[in-house]
Amino acid sequence: MVLIIDGRRQRIKFTRPLLASSLLKLLGLGRERALVRRNGKLITEFDKVSPKDNIEVFTVGSQG
């Protein structure tokens, strides 16, 4: 699936729902270093994301 990281599209392999924290781990990001927005709403790292969701990741410390 394709998700958006800091405004840029990135392809990532995941087929089943998983915790946002696991998604961040897949992306090599610690939970303190990013926020996840699912279908336009911020979620915590303990919430789940599914490949059907519209997922945006914002990393901390890279917005200038």
Residues making contact with other proteins (CB under 8 A): 6-7, 30-33, 35, 37, 41-47, 58, 60-64
Q: Please identify, using beta-carbon distances, which residue of 44 and 50 lies nearer to other proteins.
A: 44
How far apart (Å, rounded) are the C-alpha atoms in residues 1 and 51?
Answer: 6
Provide the greatest CA pair distance for the chain: 34
What's the closest the beta carbon of residue 15 comes to other proteins, in angstroms? 24
At 15, the amino acid letter reads T
What's the closest the beta carbon of residue 21 comes to other proteins, in angstroms? 10
What's the closest the beta carbon of residue 64 comes to other proteins, in angstroms? 4
The bridge status of strand 41-43 relative to strand 48-49 is: unpaired
